[in-house]
Amino acid sequence: MLQNVMDFLMEFGAWGLFIHSFADAVIFPIPAFFLQVSLSMMNPSTALWLATAGFIGCMLGTPLGYAIGKLLGNAVLYKLLKKEWVDKATAMFQKNGEAAILIGAFTPIPFKVFTIISGCMNFPLWRLICYAALGRAVKFYLVGLLFYLYGNAAEGMVKEVSLYIFLIAVPVLLIAIWLRRRYVKNRERKLQADQKVI
């Protein structure tokens, strides 16, 4: 049945990817990455436009996935999502919500897991959107750029480059988050020390 849905969406090209990406952030179990690759192989010259359609669809679907988690809470998680996905994502969120979203943007775990859990855990929506935009933009446009530049030869590159991005870009982003938090904490300590002096 899911394959039939994928085939149906493929007939609509960029609009199909837009719908798939929107649904990927809300309820659909197959990541939009697969449809993006298939459509990009059919016409590599449109790969960047496809990336844009997919990215916009994901960003519009993200608040809806968040709202589902916020309104329905944990009760909905295990009904809509695989237990192993929920357990992994929850563990990641408990350690660091921002890191979970960034890593989730690159993993095979459907992105809806992270949007719904963000709502369940009352993670700030604006932060979810910011980090989702960053992570998803890298993933969508990386695939789009590879197909645009290399045509169908990019099919073999996509998995390797995605892995390298995951191994390099994600740690860099996590270090940036850590440095920012450290800066904020140091600033707060300095303000508290100045207030005590006064």
pLDDT tens readout for residues 11-49: 898 999 999 999 988 888 788 888 988 999 999 999 999
Angle between helices 33-42 and 47-72 (to 10 degrees): 160
Of 113, 37, 120, 118, the closest CA to residue 71 belongs to: 120
Cut 0.85: pTM above it: no
Residue whose token pair is 């994901």: 58
pLDDT for position 197: 63
Number of domains in the chain: 1
Domain of residue 120, residue span: 2-197
One-letter identity of residue 173: L
57 pLDDT more than 90:
yes
pLDDT for position 180: 72
pLDDT for position 74: 67
Q: What residues have CB less than 8 Å from 163, skipping those under 6 apart?
A: none
What tokens appear for 106 in the block?
């690159």
Helices assigned H by DSSP within 2-153: 2-10, 13-24, 33-42, 47-72, 74-80, 83-95, 97-104, 112-120, 125-150
CA separation for the pair 103, 99 (Å, rounded): 6
CA separation for the pair 186, 146 (Å, rounded): 41
Q: What is the pLDDT of residues 77-101, one digit of tens each?
A: 677 667 776 777 677 676 677 777 7
CA separation for the pair 11, 162 (Å, rounded): 26
CA separation for the pair 166, 134 (Å, rounded): 13
Q: What is the pLDDT of residues 129-163, one digit of tens each?
A: 988 888 888 889 988 998 998 888 777 777 666 66
